[in-house]
Chains A and B, each alone.
Chain A
Amino acid sequence: MKFFSRKCRSVALAVLTAGAMVFTAGCGSGGAPADAGGSVADPGEGGGPAWQTVVDAANKEGQVVLYSNSDGVNAAFEAAWAKAYPGIKLVVSKYASGELTTKLDAEKGGGVVGADVITVSTKPWLDANLNSLVAPTGPALGKYWGGSRYVYGDGRYVLVAATPLGAGVNTEQLAKLGNPPVTTYKDLLQPQFKGALGIVPGTGAPAAEQWWFYAAKEMGGDSAVGRLADLQPRLYTVPATLATDLASGEVAVGAYNVKGTIDALAAKGAPIKFVTLEPVISTPVTAAVVGWAKNPNAAQVFQNWLLSPGGQIALNGSGSLLTPLELPALGSVPSTMRSIPTGATVVDGVLTPEQKTWVTDLWKSKLRLG
């Protein structure tokens, strides 16, 4: 009898727990996606019957898997896609740069389920795997990107955005430090910031290391790295965790960071703001369709959309990222949207011998990075 009652209790507990989970899941399913805005331009315009066949096949596939390391691929972006192609589910997986390419290397030879489309910042991987990438077959590439210097390998990969990296500041903490100005790279080296500065050193992400290479030049050259190390900056692996500590006040100033990440926290009431450091140095967001895609038609439809005004506005419309296209070519766009300025530095993730030496002998050494 005792065993029976204990068993009953056990079963009841399991049922109650499972029930609570289902109930909670049900309660949470009502969240509405953010309004994504968008473009009236038809991404398939000019594609003809052949392209329509691809779209129909994509709808039958019903899903496209995107691997990305870009902060621009967010809920609003996904909502914009869902609005444009409600019959094709977008499955997004976010990875840090190195993990993403590792995952792709594992997938490409195995014929396994994985990515259909990728947005990465690691150009060396794209160049090394050019034959494993598939050029877009949709009309958007020819229509909007003809003659663009951001199309590589006969269209097998395309720079679809540039991420301008800057600094984040906690306005309350900055006030405690006497409101020192933070508008240039050199401003990061002010002695007041000793112990109050956070940095993402970008170890393992060549594009991020290149960003620091150029940023250090703006700070005053190689000696600036030593002065930066003297400030004993706290290290962070990704901008998101740095932004969290900026919001809490653990650090007063942090670089590099991404406008979208900082703005999202500021919108929730965090006393932080994004500072564009001049001149703007951006990292690339490069998109490609992979040859081992299990949803090849959906991958083509997604890539075509990304290259069309609709996809460009979804990715770059907020102004957090910069579009490589001229705005007039995109028709009606949000007022926040910006193009990559002429002459701006967009790093390519390919470390030159000089940059490699700088990263190893100076950057990692001075900052004691493993």
Chain B
Amino acid sequence: MTSLTARTAVTPARSLGSRLRHHGRRLAVLLGLPAVLAALWWIVSERAGNFFFPPLSEILAEFGPTWFDGRLGHDLLPSLGRLAAGYALALLLGVALGVLIGTRPALRAFAEPVLEFFRAIPPPVMVPILMLFLGIGTTMKVVVIVSGAVWPVLLNTVEGVRGIDGLLHDTARVYRLRPLTRLRTVVLRGASPGIVTGARQALSIAIVLMVISEMFAANNGLGFSIVQFQRGFALPEMWTGIILLGLVGLLLSLIFRAVERAVLAWYRGQRQAQRGGSR
């Protein structure tokens, strides 16, 4: 990352021509391999005539009619809504409980083995159990996402809170920071690298659970549609669903990275300073 910023910092001094060439090269490096792979997929699938791997041209032609005639609102949006609700709840619950447990050493020792056990349960096996209590509605799907995504947030928050320098706590006490101020500026700030790590793991678990809960039982959603297509042997449509799901995953990880960069800007600066100035 540092080398990247260093490189862009140098460019303004150069002439326009070399700058264009420089950006052109970077663009070629960025898009070169994906273009080659897409072209390969296009050509090979066109020739292969394999039922399971329909021509890419056919998949792309099918994309619009499959998704933009109502499915986007009927299937994708409900999926994303449940994901957002479940993920937000998991973050809230994980951070709140994590701070509570992390700031009390005795409570932490008391709860940790049980929490480790819950984290170790493969999240999808909670679906059959939660279906017993909640049926197959939206509530079940949101709770499934929470039940899987909350553990990495919780445990990483606990770790993050534990790792805060004791000197900071003492300083906060000396300055008589009020409890809320201390929570915001010392505890949450200090634990934020841990919280972000947990949130990243939780995001990929949440996406998996969004899909899985819809594959079990649903009448709409991304996972539901993909399985419907597969059971109906609608191969090109199924592939558009797989591609759409991939794009959703990609988009969410890009958003996550942007948020992470904003939240942890102070941390990167600090790390760099500790390693001996700007590199």
A and B: interacting chains: no
Which residue numbers of A lie inside 8 Å of B, CB to CB?
none
